[in-house]
Amino acid sequence: MDDFLRIITHARRLKSALNELGVEQLEEVKIKLQKIIDDRIAEEKAAQAENAVRNEKILEIRKLLRQEGIDPGELLDGFSEKPGRQAMRQPKYEIWNETGDHITWTGQGRMPNIFKARIETGESLDTFLIDQ
C-alpha cells in the first residue's frame, strides 16, 4: 500500500507507472477514479449532514436543560465513560541480588527469575514477604 501511495501521489512516478497503458485503458481508470471520488464526496456530505442534525439536537437538549435549571455536568456526576487506569499494585515480595540491586514483585504475573532460583534452592516464598 505504501508503494501505491508513493506512486499515485507523485506526478512523475504516476506517469512512469501508467506509461504502458493505452488511451482507452487510461480513460477507464479515469472513469473508475472519478466514481470513487464522487462516492467519497457523497459520503462526506452525508456525514456532515448527519453531524449537523446531531449538533442541532445537542443544542436543543442543552437549551431544555437550561430552561429546567439543570447543569449538563450534573448529568454525568458519578459516571465515567471510560474506566480509568488501575492503580499500580504495591510490591508484596522483595529481594536483593548479588550486585545489590533491589528487586520487587507484586505477586502478580510472571515470577522474576531470581525468586524462582531461590525457591528452587529450597527457600520459601514467605521469606521474601515485605513487612507491611
Q: Residue written as cell 536483593?
A: 96
| Residue 103 host element (H or E) | strand 102-105
User: Are residues 97 and 34 part of one domain?
Assistant: no
- Judge if 108 and 52 occupy the same domain: no
Range of the domain at 65: 2-73
pLDDT in tens, 63-120: 998 898 888 777 776 665 666 677 888 899 999 888 888 999 999 999 999 999 999 9
Residues 18 and 52 in one domain: yes
How far is Cα 42 from Cα 113, in angstroms, rounded to an integer? 59
Residue 114, domain member (yes or no):
yes
pTM of the shown model:
0.45
Cell numbers at 68, concatenated: 429546567
7 backbone dihedrals φ, ψ, rounded to 5° = -80, -50
Percentage of the chain with pLDDT > 70?
93
Same domain, 97 and 68: no
> Are both 55 and 118 inside the same structural domain?
no
Do 62 and 111 reside in the same domain of the chain? no
- Three cell numbers, residue 13: 512516478
User: pLDDT tens across 25-39, in order?
Assistant: 999 999 999 999 999
The number of domains in the chain is 2
Per-residue model confidence as pLDDT tens digits over 4-18: 888 888 899 888 989
Residue 89 in contact with residue 132, Cβ under 8 Å? no
Look up residue 73 and give its three cell numbers: 455536568
